[in-house]
C-alpha cells in the first residue's frame, strides 16, 4: 500500500485530497495544527485503518515513522483574512514548513507536491497568466506575507529538485471553491453565501470590476492527482479559465440563493489583484486536464452544503463582518 503525507489535511483542499487518496487505496497520514482547518472535515476517515491524523505544526521538525511515497504540502493559511490575522505563521509555514517537508522527502525518498497559488503573479500585468510570467508582487504590502512565502516555497522546492534530486511538483492553484470552505474565512464565495443566508446585503469590495476565475474543488483535485503522477517538475496552473467580475458574481449569488438583499460597496483592500484568469495550456498538454464542472453546477452543490450547515455556523461569521467594517 502506497503511503502519502498530506500537510494541511484538515483544511478545505487537504480534506478533499485525503478523501481522494483513500479512494485510490493509499495509506493517508494527514498532518495539521488546526489553525484554520477543522477536524470535522476528516472525522469520517478516523474509523479507517489506513488513515492517521497527526496534530502537529509543520513549521516544527516533522517526524513520520515508516516509509513515505508522496508528500503533499498544503498547510498554509489561504484566505486574505486569515493571512492578515496570522502573518508570521503564514511566512513560517511557507518557508520552515516546506524546508521540513523537503528534508523529510529526501530521507524517505518521497515525491513532493506543493500547493502554490495564482498569488505568485500578484496584481498581474499579463492576462491570462501563464507559467512563464514572473508576476507583480508587492513584498511589503499586506498580501506580501502570503505571496512571498509561496514564491520562496517554489524556489526552495526547485532547489531541492536541482541540488538534491528530490522529485518535486508545483501546482499553482487559482481560486477554488466547494463544500468544506469555512463560512467565516472571508473569501468571496463563503462571504456572499453567508450574507445571503443571514439576510444581509452582499459586500462587494471596490466597484466590483475586478475579476476572478472560480474552479470547482473536484476539478482541482483531479488536476493535482494527475500532476503528482506526471513527471513534470515545473509549475503548472490548475484553475478554471471562466472569468467573471466580482460584481457579476454577487448578482449570480443573489439569483442562486433567491435572497432579496442588495449589493453594498466597501473599500477595495490594498493590492487586491484587478484581474485573474489562468492560462491552462500546460495543464491541457501535459496532464490532459481541463475543468468539467461549470460554475452553475458547482455553485449549486456548494450552496446546498452551506444551506444545510447547523444555524449557529452562520453566526460564527461575525468576526469577518467586524473586520470588513474597518
Question: Counting contacts by CB under 6 A, is residue 104 touching ligand NAD?
Answer: no
Answer for which of 12, 249, 289, 306 binds ligand NAD (CB under 6 A) is: 12
Given a contact cutoff of 8 angstroms between Cβ atoms, the answer to whether 9 and 18 are in contact is: yes
Question: Counting contacts by CB under 6 A, is residue 191 touching ligand NAD?
Answer: no
Shorter beta-carbon distance to ligand NAD: residue 28 or 115: 115
Question: Counting contacts by CB under 6 A, is residue 175 touching ligand UDP?
Answer: yes
Question: Counting contacts by CB under 6 A, is residue 176 touching ligand UDP?
Answer: no
Min CB(325)–ligand NAD separation in Å = 23
Shorter beta-carbon distance to ligand NAD: residue 86 or 268: 86
Among 129, 76, 81, residue whose Cα is nearest residue 276: 129
3-state DSSP assignment of residue 136? strand
Instruction: Compute the Cα dihedral for 158, 119, 301, 248 and give only its sign.
Output: negative
Cell of 13: 483542499
Answer for which of 170, 188, 215, 238 binds ligand UDP (CB under 6 A) is: 188
Among 88, 59, 74, residue whose Cα is nearest residue 5: 74
State the binding partner of 32 from ligand UDP, ligand NAD, none, CB within 5 to 8 A by kind.
ligand NAD
List the catalytic residue out of 70, 121, 146, 216: 146
Question: Counting contacts by CB under 6 A, is residue 176 touching ligand NAD?
Answer: yes
Beta bridge partners, 216, equal: 177
Among 292, 217, 294, 219, residue whose Cα is nearest residue 252: 294
| Residue 73 CB neighbours (<10 A) | 28
Q: Which residues contact 109 (CB under 8 A, 6 or more apart)?
A: none
Question: Counting contacts by CB under 6 A, is residue 205 touching ligand UDP?
Answer: yes
Question: Counting contacts by CB under 6 A, is residue 181 touching ligand UDP?
Answer: no
DSSP secondary structure letters along 29-79: EEEE--SS--GGGTGGGTT-TTEEEEE--TTS-----S--SEEEE--S--S
Shorter beta-carbon distance to ligand UDP: residue 73 or 212: 212
Q: Residue 146 catalytic?
A: yes
Residues 201-220 that bind ligand NAD (CB under 6 A): none
Residues 40-99 that bind ligand NAD (CB under 6 A): 57-59, 74-78, 89, 93, 97
Min CB(97)–ligand NAD separation in Å = 6
> In angstroms, rounded to a whole number, what is the distance separating the alpha carbons of residues 111 and 120?
22
Q: Kindly list the residues in this chain that would bind ligand NAD in the complex (CB under 6 A).
A: 7-8, 10-14, 32-37, 57-59, 74-78, 89, 93, 97, 115, 117, 173, 175-176
Q: Which residues are catalytic?
A: 146
Amino acid at each position: 500500500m502506497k503511503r502519502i503525507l498530506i500537510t494541511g489535511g484538515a483544511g478545505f483542499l487537504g480534506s478533499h485530497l485525503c478523501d481522494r487518496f483513500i479512494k485510490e487505496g493509499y495509506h493517508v497520514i494527514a498532518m495539521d495544527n488546526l489553525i484554520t482547518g477543522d477536524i470535522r472535515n476528516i472525522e469520517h476517515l478516523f474509523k479507517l485503518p489506513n488513515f492517521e491524523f497527526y496534530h502537529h505544526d509543520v513549521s516544527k521538525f516533522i517526524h513520520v515513522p515508516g516509509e513515505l511515497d508522496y508528500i503533499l504540502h498544503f498547510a498554509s493559511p489561504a484566505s486574505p483574512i486569515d493571512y492578515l490575522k496570522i502573518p508570521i505563521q503564514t511566512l513560517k509555514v511557507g518557508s520552515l514548513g516546506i524546508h521540513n517537508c523537503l528534508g523529510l522527502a529526501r530521507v524517505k525518498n518521497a515525491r513532493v507536491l506543493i500547493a502554490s497559488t495564482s498569488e505568485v503573479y500578484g496584481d498581474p500585468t499579463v492576462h491570462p497568466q501563464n507559467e512563464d510570467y514572473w508576476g507583480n508582487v508587492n513584498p511589503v504590502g499586506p498580501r506580501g506575507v502570503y505571496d512571498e512565502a509561496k514564491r520562496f516555497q517554489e524556489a526552495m522546492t526547485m532547489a531541492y529538485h536541482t541540488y538534491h534530486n528530490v522529485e518535486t511538483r508545483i501546482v499553482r492553484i487559482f481560486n477554488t471553491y466547494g463544500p468544506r470552505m469555512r463560512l467565516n474565512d472571508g473569501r468571496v464565495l463563503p462571504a456572499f453565501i453567508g450574507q445571503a443566508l443571514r439576510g444581509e446585503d452582499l459586500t462587494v469590495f471596490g466597484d466590483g470590476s475586478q475579476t476572478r476565475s472560480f474552479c470547482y474543488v473536484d476539478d482541482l483535485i483531479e488536476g493535482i492527482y494527475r500532476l503528482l503522477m506526471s513527471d513534470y517538475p515545473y509549475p503548472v496552473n490548475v484553475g478554471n479559465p471562466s472569468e467573471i467580475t466580482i460584481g457579476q458574481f454577487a448578482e449570480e449569488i443573489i439569483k442562486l440563493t433567491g435572497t432579496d438583499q442588495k449589493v453594498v460597496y466597501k473599500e477595495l483592500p490594498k493590492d487586491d489583484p484587478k484581474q485573474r484568469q489562468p492560462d491552462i495550456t500546460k495543464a491541457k498538454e501535459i496532464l490532459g486536464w481541463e475543468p468539467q464542472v461549470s460554475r452553475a453546477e458547482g455553485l449549486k452543490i456548494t450552496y446546498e452544503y452551506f444551506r444545510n450547515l447547523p444555524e449557529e455556523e452562520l453566526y460564527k461569521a461575525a468576526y469577518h463582518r467586524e473586520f470588513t467594517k474597518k
